[in-house]
Amino acid sequence: MYRDVGKPEVKQFILDFMTDLLSTYQISFIKWDMNRTITEPGTSDEFQNPNHAIWIKHVQNLYEIWAELRKRFPGVEFESCAGGGARIDFGILRYADQVWPSDNTDAFDRLSIQEGFSYVYSPHVMMCWVTESPHGLNGRKFHYHFVFIVP
């Protein structure tokens, strides 16, 4: 129902919902996942009109939501989750305490992911989980010493 964050009413719904949630419960950490981008943002004619730039409005409203939530709840730590889609940007780093660069938690794969990430972003904002060995996606086996050193 509320999918287009570029719409003012969706922006307000999210801000109201999050304000109510953070005011009601003692939450100290929010992981904001961006695994779904807009796949049908309109026709090329609509992009010529700045009022129809759906993705731009989405990101602008997202930044405004985060800015307001950070102001209202300065003690809450926020993580932006990119889900491997290269959707971390310098703009969100104004509001995020940390970022999750990829859902791929395989320790060997993380070496290249983290290297590429570090070419553009400061490594201190990058987060990663330590997961099982053998890895659930590809069956690779690593000694836990290696798995804990990589992230």
- pLDDT tens per residue, range 10-37: 999 999 999 999 999 999 999 988 755 5
| % of residues, the chain, pLDDT over 90 | 34
For residue 32, give the H/E element and its range. strand 29-33
Buried b (16+ CB within 10 A) or exposed e, 23-47: eeeeeeebebeeeeeeeebeeeeee
pLDDT > 60? residue 110: yes
Which residue in 20, 33, 97, 109 is the catalytic one? 33
pLDDT interval class at 64 (50, 70, 90): very high
Q: What's the longest Cα–Cα distance across the chain?
A: 55
Q: How far is CA 146 from CA 92, 130, 133, in A?
A: 31, 10, 11
- Give yes or no: 109 in active site: no
**Among 61, 74, 60, which residue's Cα sits nearest to residue 30?**
74
Q: pTM of the full predicted structure?
A: 0.79
Which residue in 16, 103, 106, 109 is the catalytic one? 103
- Give yes or no: 103 in active site: yes
